[in-house]
Each structure stands twice: as structure tokens, then as C-alpha cells.
Amino acid sequence: MVYKNLMRLKGLILLKLVILMPSSLFAEQPKDWQLGFQKSASEVMYDIVWFHDFMLLPIITAITAFVLFLVIYACVRFRASRNPIASKTSHNTFIEVIWTLVPCLILIVMAVPSFKVLYSQDRIPPADVTIKAVGYQWYWGYEYPDENIIFDSYMIDDKDLLPGQPRLLTVDNEIVVPVNKVVKVLITANDVLHAWALPSFGVKRDAVPGRINETWFKADRTGTFYGQCSELCGIKHAFMPITVKVVDQNEYEKWLGEAKKKFAKNKKESEKLFKVVKFFGDN
């Protein structure tokens, strides 16, 4: 009986793996039981992951092991039974100099690559595509200022999801950008603080009303990448995902052509104006 149940369980797990595998293998999104960062898709993110994996982790591990060793050593070496008369030592200049200097050195060693990564995020190379992202309660509005495109991006409800579309991450209108091109993102908000974040690109910037923040990324492969609003902005904070579709240049130009017709700026703005006029007219 137990064996039979185990085999059934194994079968179920296998079936689940087969069903889940394609979408979870290729999607650029958080995965069940994931440890660490999402897979990098831009140089900035590779640098961040390198800094975390090969600088911070070894240093943290070494410090933790060293402190643990000291605690255990002190417990054993200076236990009451072995050390009935306690030492009265309260100062030791040499050890005090050491425990000031060594942490300083560790901080300096960490600071150098850390600043390098920080400045590479901050210094925006000449942009090929510029996008403006505006945070609203609770969705994102996007604009391609050079292309005269403007549209809103709402999350798709669970009941309307198509097979393969991730829950809470899929939107109706995603941003489309070309691969291997510098994309500059201007970020602002219209009501409260939001934050535009995309883990695979190593991008996270606050969206502040009345102020424009800038960031950039250069995606190194095609695919659909997911992020979420990362500043607590109200009751539907968890339901304003960010979806970026990275495509090759040809596909991007094709999309631009269609989007210019579908999301023409003047049309959208006049629609908004119409809504406002209608609102005041009705009230």
C-alpha cells in the first residue's frame, strides 16, 4: 500500500515536472524554491551577481566562521571550571589597533568594486531607445517620446490568463525593446511613490511624483522579462507588474509600426482629455 502510494506520488511529481518544465525553464521570472538572483540578462546584472557571489559571500562566510570560532574558543578555553580566577585585563593596545584596522581594510576592499558597479548603473551610455515609465495607482503608463507612442499597461486577471502566462506578472500591453541596444528609462509617478524594477537587468529606481529618475539597461538576449513595482504604493501594489519583451531589431521595427497606429500619442491624450471633460460635464 505504502509502496503503491509512493509510486503514485512519484508519477505525480514526474507529471508535474514535465508540465512545468517548459515554462519555468525559459521564463525570466522568479521560480519556486529559487535561491539567489534571477538569471542575468544585462552586463550590470552580471556585475552585481559577480560582486555578490565572489566578493560579499566569501567575506561574509569568512567573518561568520571566524566569529563562531572565537565564541566557541572563548567558551571552552575560559570556562569556569578551567579558569576559576578571572583575568582582570581590560586593555590591549595591539589587539585594539588590529580590530579597528582589519574591518576598515575589509570595507575598503569591498568599496572599490561596489562603487564601480554603482557608477556603471549611474552613467547612462548614449541611448538607442528612450522609454518613459509613469507609475499610477495601480498600473504603469509607458511612453516612447521619440516615437510618439503612449499606452497603459495593466495586469491580466487570473481568470483571463492564457496557458503559459505567469500569474501576477502578465500585462495587457508590454514594453517592447530591441536586443543589444541601450534602453534609457525615465521614471516618474503621477500619484504616490512607486518603483520600476527589473531583476534580470539589475534595474530598480524609485518613481517619484514631480521628479524624473533615470536608469538604463542593455538586454543581451531576447525573451520576456518580468518585474514588479518595488515601493509599497497602496492596496494594489502587488498587482502592477512590469513586463518587458526583448526582441531583435526587425521585430522591434515591426512592432513600432503597429504601435504607432495603435498607441498614437495624440489619440490617447485626446481620449484622456475627453474623459476629463466628460467627468466635469457629468458632475
Binding site for Cu ion (CB under 5 A): 194, 229, 233
Give the span between the Cα atoms of 131 and 252, in whole angstroms.
Answer: 14
Residue 213 makes CB contacts below 8 A (sequence gap 6+) with 186, 187, 188, 205, 206, 207
Please identify, using beta-carbon distances, which residue of 53 and 172 lies nearer to Cu ion: 172
Closest approach of Cu ion to the CB of residue 22, in Å: 31
Other beta carbons within 10 angstroms of residue 176's beta carbon come to: 23
Please identify, using beta-carbon distances, which residue of 196 and 225 lies nearer to Cu ion: 196
Asked if residues 42 and 220 have their Cβ atoms less than 8 Å apart, the reply is yes
Closest approach of Cu ion to the CB of residue 56, in Å: 28
Closest approach of Cu ion to the CB of residue 233, in Å: 3
Q: Which three cell numbers stand for residue 30?
A: 522568479
Please identify, using beta-carbon distances, which residue of 169 and 233 lies nearer to Cu ion: 233
Q: Which three cell numbers stand for residue 257?
A: 509600426
User: How, if at all, do strands 139-144 and 149-153 pair?
Assistant: antiparallel
Please identify, using beta-carbon distances, which residue of 233 and 259 lies nearer to Cu ion: 233
Give the span between the Cα atoms of 124 and 182, in whole angstroms.
Answer: 9
Half-sphere exposure of 236 (CA within 13 A, CB side): 13
Closest approach of Cu ion to the CB of residue 166, in Å: 18
Closest approach of Cu ion to the CB of residue 240, in Å: 5
Give the span between the Cα atoms of 199 and 247, in whole angstroms.
Answer: 18
Asked if residues 99 and 105 have their Cβ atoms less than 8 Å apart, the reply is no
Please identify, using beta-carbon distances, which residue of 40 and 153 lies nearer to Cu ion: 153
Closest approach of Cu ion to the CB of residue 169, in Å: 14
Please identify, using beta-carbon distances, which residue of 149 and 233 lies nearer to Cu ion: 233
